[in-house]
């Protein structure tokens, strides 16, 4: 006999659509910014980045933004080939 489970175990923990790891990064960045600039400006920047992050990650799998940044060659992911074309020729780029 099958019974329904009220708890879903395979979904990530989110708060207003933002994952826990991203929320921690936003909070730490907001704290560091509040030490450098005004607290209201830091709070506004943190809120704006949180809203942008929520809309950028909506409907995408985990890690999609990291791979998009890697495709734009803005960051390097370890163990992943470069997005730029590579020439496997003993004569270099001429062939």
Helices (H), the chain: 20-36, 39-57, 64-71
What is the C-alpha separation between 71 and 68, in angstroms, rounded?
5
Distance (Å) of CA 86 to CA 30, 54, 93 = 40, 34, 9
Average pLDDT per 10 consecutive residues for the chain, totaling 95 residues: 74 78 86 90 90 85 79 80 72 59
Quote the tokens at residue 62.
């985990």
What is the C-alpha separation between 80 and 69, in angstroms, rounded?
12
Q: What is the pLDDT of residue 3?
A: 78
Q: What is the pLDDT of residue 1?
A: 67
Q: What is the pLDDT of residue 95?
A: 47
Q: What is the pLDDT of residue 78?
A: 81
The answer to pTM > 0.85 is no
The domain segmentation of the chain, as residue ranges, is 14-94
């Amino acid at each position: 006999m099958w019974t329904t489970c009220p708890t879903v175990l395979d979904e990530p923990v989110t708060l207003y659509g933002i994952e826990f790891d991203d929320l921690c990064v936003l909070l730490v960045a907001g704290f560091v910014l509040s030490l450098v600039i005004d607290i209201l400006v830091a709070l506004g920047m943190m809120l704006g980045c949180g809203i942008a992050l929520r809309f950028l990650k909506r409907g995408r799998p985990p890690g999609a933004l990291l791979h998009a940044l890697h495709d734009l060659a803005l960051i390097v992911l370890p163990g992943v080939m470069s997005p730029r074309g590579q020439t496997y020729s003993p004569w270099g780029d001429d062939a």
